[in-house]
Amino acid sequence: ASFLFDFSQDDDSKKGGKKSMALHALNKIVIMWAGFFTASLFVYFMMSGGDFSFLMTYGAISRMFGFGILNVKIFSSKRATGVSVKTLQLYCLVFFFRLTSIIRHQGYLPYDKSGDWLYHVVEIMALIFTGTALWGCMAPFKSTYQGALDKFGEMHVPPGMGAVYLAVPMLILAIIVHPNLNSDFMSDAAWTYAMYLESVALVPQLFMFQKQTSGVVELLTAHFVAALGFGRLMEFMFWVYSYHELATSAGSKLPGYLALFSQLMQLVLMLDFFWYYYLAVKNATPLVLPSHGAAMGMV
């Protein structure tokens, strides 16, 4: 009888320990996101003047926050597990080409005071965070990078080059269809390329999630993807009301329609992820996605 009693005590202590760890993780989540929203409100009241275009800056801040989380995950754990290098490569291109446009011209900047300098700083920091995360995956922690799972697009290309199947078509589309707010072909095409490419940049990461046999997504990796999705939602809300400004030199509204469509498609691709992310945060449990053989809406 005493053996059974001891066994049940051990079982109860294990359950209590797991619950304590879950609550601790939940507290860290709350603090992290509360800090983000507090900082966002401060910036909003100090920089926006209540202008609707601040949603662009808010989306950019959310992206920067997401890549900051990813750096914490990689360098604190000293592991690159669960992170898609292809997605990081694509986002490096996104931030680089967007910066080549907004540093030289003002056509695609927020109208409020955040467009004077803050938006530029946020995008530069996002590029730095993305670059350091990519470096962490490919240099000091390369041995932990799961290249066998990061296989998106690896058909008829050298290993690790699958991202070209997203980068090249988006470049061609941006060259053919782009707005004319800067009245400069290179600048307009560069900004448009960044926008189109960002709409598909998370696809390799979502593809990698599906290839994980356990279906479990590391907590900080999940927050990284959620922050990028939240940023895209903010920008989509802005362009719903402003897409008509994205017109070609001939007056065609096609670039505006493509901008809306591309951003909407990214949000649709992430619907399943958002749902399981919500359940994980609500229940203070790990984020577990269905196996790649199940019906999934992500990719």
Q: Give how far the C-alpha of residue 117 lies from the chain's centroid of Cα atoms, to the nearest Å.
A: 22
Residues in contact with 50: Cβ distance below 8 Å, sequence separation at least 6, in sequence order: none
Flag the least confident range among 73-87, 173-187, 212-226.
Answer: 212-226
Kindly report, residue by residue over 226-261, the tens digit of the pLDDT. Answer: 999 999 999 999 999 889 899 988 889 999 999 999
Q: In this structure, what token pair is assigned to residue 241?
A: 């009301």
Query: What residue type is 178 in one-letter code?
Result: H
Question: What pTM was computed for the model?
Answer: 0.86
* pLDDT tens track for 111-146: 888 878 989 999 999 999 999 999 999 999 999 999
Task: Convert 160-222 into a string of H (helix), E (strand) and C (coil).
Answer: CCCCHHHHHHHHHHHHHCCCCCCCCHHHHHHHHHHHHHHCCCCHHHHHHHHHCCCCEECHHHH
Look-up: residue for tokens 């649709």? 268
Q: Which three-class secondary structure state does DSSP give residue 56?
A: helix
Residues in contact with 242: Cβ distance below 8 Å, sequence separation at least 6, in sequence order: 53
Quote the pLDDT of residue 250. 86
Across-strand partners of 166? none
Measured distance CA(161)–CA(267) in Å, rounded = 25
Question: Sign of dihedral through CA atoms 213, 215, 216, 217?
Answer: positive
User: Under DSSP, is residue 240 helix (H, G, I), strand (E, B) or coil?
Assistant: helix
3 state DSSP class of 287: strand
Q: Which of 214, 216, 218 is nearest to 83 (CA)?
A: 218
Looking up tokens 């050298």, which residue turns up?
Answer: 158
